[in-house]
């Protein structure tokens, strides 16, 4: 599949974006560990979250749905009802599935094998296997346990105190989930706060958890109870439309029901600093997560420096922020973001290469990118590199370039945003 995009005379209208990917994964996982039914609304039916469901099916969990509205029922029977899978668990392209599942499997008394697609099999896993091994799990994998396929013999874990070397919600969550199933208390501390959906949802499901600054503590062997979970719209998906609305002259668009958890809102803060005309309104809370509607209008943008504690709060939005940098006055400097090299693709190298094809002035840095704005973009043939966020970011760049841009191999968009192109077209 490929996208063909021409510059637009302005995007106008009201849209909603699919359910949050991080929250959808966690709703299936906690629903599977809980006792009783969990009713999920607005579940993301993207490939990543479907991979999580298929892993839990192999562990013995039954589901009804999801239907086209994203209603999904998880029939939870508690962790003791989960059984040793006869087949290999396949996390496909999803780092969240593999890392959080490793945490859960570490706490369960059986053997399992986990794999993923070529991209996931090249992503670092020792960041989770090291702390989980300290808790008592036995984990084997390629490259001395660093890469999938991985084999896990879980059970008999005990709580640990662990300081994360890098802020990562996936690693934090894997340890907390293993801690939930372990004996004793587990404490995780992170250098900067990463997304806190696991903490919020554990509380929603009835677990006790204390958050003391950047340290999170959980007592093991707590029981979870099935819940109703309404999944908010994914701000990481909304980000493509926020960027398009702010940068395509004549745009005025509203995105409804977007999750505005502060640990995910770095994109809004940076865009406001860049001079974007953004209004966040109708704020409310659903299933322990803040949600709002967001209106964005075209305005002139200026550069910004993005680093430090902001990075974990906008890490998935860097591709589209880099695109915004091409039209801003001045420079967008992204630093402290070496993590971008180990995402679904090496996003530093891939962004630099693809944006240069469109005539952008981009410098690749060891821990980020520098983009000089103001050089007119010219249409080109771009490549997704199998990375959903690169495919969508390049589509937005296509709206800003002169001529017709083609983005190749865009099937990967289904990972997080089925219907992305249709939503884009609906705005003219």
Binding segment toward ligand S3P, per CB under 6 A, in 54-62, 69-77, 165-173, 345-353 = 165-173
171 or 246, CB closer to ligand S3P?
Answer: 171
38 or 168, CB closer to ligand S3P?
Answer: 168
Query: Does the footprint of ligand S3P cover residue 169 (CB under 6 A)?
Result: yes
CB 316 → ligand S3P: shortest distance, Å? 5
CB 259 → ligand S3P: shortest distance, Å? 12
Distance, in Å, from the CA atom of 153 to the CA atom of 193, rounded to the nearest integer, reads: 30
Q: Which residue intervals of 64-124 are DSSP H helices?
A: 95-106, 118-121
Distance, in Å, from the CA atom of 368 to the CA atom of 339, rounded to the nearest integer, reads: 9
Chain length of the chain: 428
* Binding residues with ligand S3P: total (CB under 6 A): 11
CB 29 → ligand S3P: shortest distance, Å? 11
11 or 242, CB closer to ligand S3P?
Answer: 242
Residue 316 bears catalytic tag? yes
- Given 24, 52, 168, 232, the residue binding ligand S3P (CB under 6 A): 168
Query: Does the footprint of ligand S3P cover residue 195 (CB under 6 A)?
Result: yes
Q: Which DSSP letter does residue 237 get?
A: H
Q: What is the CA radius of gyration of the chain?
A: 21
Residues 317-376 touching ligand S3P, rule: CB under 6 A, are 339
Q: Which DSSP letter does residue 346 get?
A: -
Query: Does the footprint of ligand S3P cover residue 170 (CB under 6 A)?
Result: yes
Binding segment toward ligand S3P, per CB under 6 A, in 28-36, 163-171, 348-356, 398-406 = 163-171
- Pick from 213, 119, 224, 130: nearest CA to 174: 130
CA angle centred on 10, ends 9 and 12, rounded to 5°: 140
Q: Which residue intervals of 248-387 are DSSP H helices?
A: 266-273, 310-314, 318-325, 347-357
Query: Does the footprint of ligand S3P cover residue 96 (CB under 6 A)?
Result: yes
Tell me phi and psi for residue 66, to 5 degrees. Answer: -80, 150
CB 299 → ligand S3P: shortest distance, Å? 28
Which listed residue (196, 257, 316, 414) is catalytic?
A: 316
CB 180 → ligand S3P: shortest distance, Å? 16
CA angle centred on 75, ends 74 and 78, rounded to 5°: 110
Give the DSSP per-residue string, 136-195.
T-EEEEHHHHTEEEEEEE----B--EEE-SS--HHHHHHHHHHHHHSBSEEEEE-SS---
Distance, in Å, from the CA atom of 17 to the CA atom of 89, rounded to the nearest integer, reads: 29
177 or 315, CB closer to ligand S3P?
Answer: 315
CB 329 → ligand S3P: shortest distance, Å? 29
Binding segment toward ligand S3P, per CB under 6 A, in 168-176, 200-208, 209-217, 291-299 = 168-176
Query: Does the footprint of ligand S3P cover residue 316 (CB under 6 A)?
Result: yes
196 or 257, CB closer to ligand S3P?
Answer: 196
Sheet holding 72-77, edge to edge: 62-64, 72-77, 35-41, 228-230
- Judged by the rule CB under 6 A, the positions of this chain that interact with ligand S3P are 22, 96, 168-170, 173, 194-195, 315-316, 339
Catalytic residues: 316
């Amino acid at each position: 599949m490929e996208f063909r995009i021409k510059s637009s005379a302005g995007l106008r209208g009201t849209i909603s974006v699919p359910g949050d990917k991080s929250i959808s994964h966690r709703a299936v996982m906690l629903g599977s560990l809980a006792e009783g039914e969990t009713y999920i609304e607005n579940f993301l039916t993207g490939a990543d979250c479907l991979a999580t469901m298929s892993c839990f099916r192999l562990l013995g969990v039954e589901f009804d749905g999801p239907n086209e509205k994203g209603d999904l029922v998880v029939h939870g029977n508690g962790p003791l009802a989960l059984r040793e899978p006869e087949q290999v668990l396949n996390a496909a392209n999803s780092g969240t599935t593999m890392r959080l599942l490793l945490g859960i499997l570490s706490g369960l008394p059986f053997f399992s094998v986990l794999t993923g697609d070529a991209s996931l099999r090249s992503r670092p896993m020792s960041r989770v296997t090291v702390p989980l091994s300290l808790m008592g799990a036995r984990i084997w994998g390629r490259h001395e346990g660093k890469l999938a396929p991985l084999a896990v013999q879980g059970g008999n874990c005990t709580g640990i105190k662990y300081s994360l070397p890098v802020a990562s919600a996936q690693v934090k969550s894997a340890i907390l989930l293993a801690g939930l199933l372990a004996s004793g208390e587990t404490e995780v501390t992170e250098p900067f706060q990463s997304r806190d959906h696991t903490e919020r949802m554990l509380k929603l499901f009835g677990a006790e958890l204390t958050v003391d600054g950047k340290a999170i503590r959980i007592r093991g062997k707590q029981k979870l109870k099935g819940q109703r979970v309404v999944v908010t719209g994914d701000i990481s998906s909304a980000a493509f439309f926020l960027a398009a609305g702010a940068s395509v002259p004549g745009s005025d668009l509203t995105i409804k029901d977007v999750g505005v958890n502060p640990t995910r809102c770095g994109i809004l803060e940076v865009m406001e600093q860049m001079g974007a005309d953004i209004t966040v309104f109708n704020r409310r809370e659903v299933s322990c997560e803040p949600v709002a509607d967001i209106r964005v209008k075209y305005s002139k943008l200026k550069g910004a420096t993005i680093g430090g504690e902001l990075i974990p709060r906008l890490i998935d939005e860097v591709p589209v922020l880099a695109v915004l940098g091409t039209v801003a006055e001045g420079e967008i400097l992204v630093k402290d973001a070496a993590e971008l090299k180990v995402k679904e693709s090496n996003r530093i190298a891939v962004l630099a290469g693809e944006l240069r094809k469109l005539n952008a002035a981009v410098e690749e840095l060891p821990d980020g990118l520098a983009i000089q704005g103001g050089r007119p973009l010219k249409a080109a043939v771009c490549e997704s590199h199998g990375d959903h966020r690169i495919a969508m970011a390049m589509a937005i760049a296509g709206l800003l370039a002169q001529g017709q841009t083609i983005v190749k191999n865009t099937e990967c968009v289904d990972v997080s945003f089925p219907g992305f192109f249709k939503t884009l077209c609906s705005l003219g």
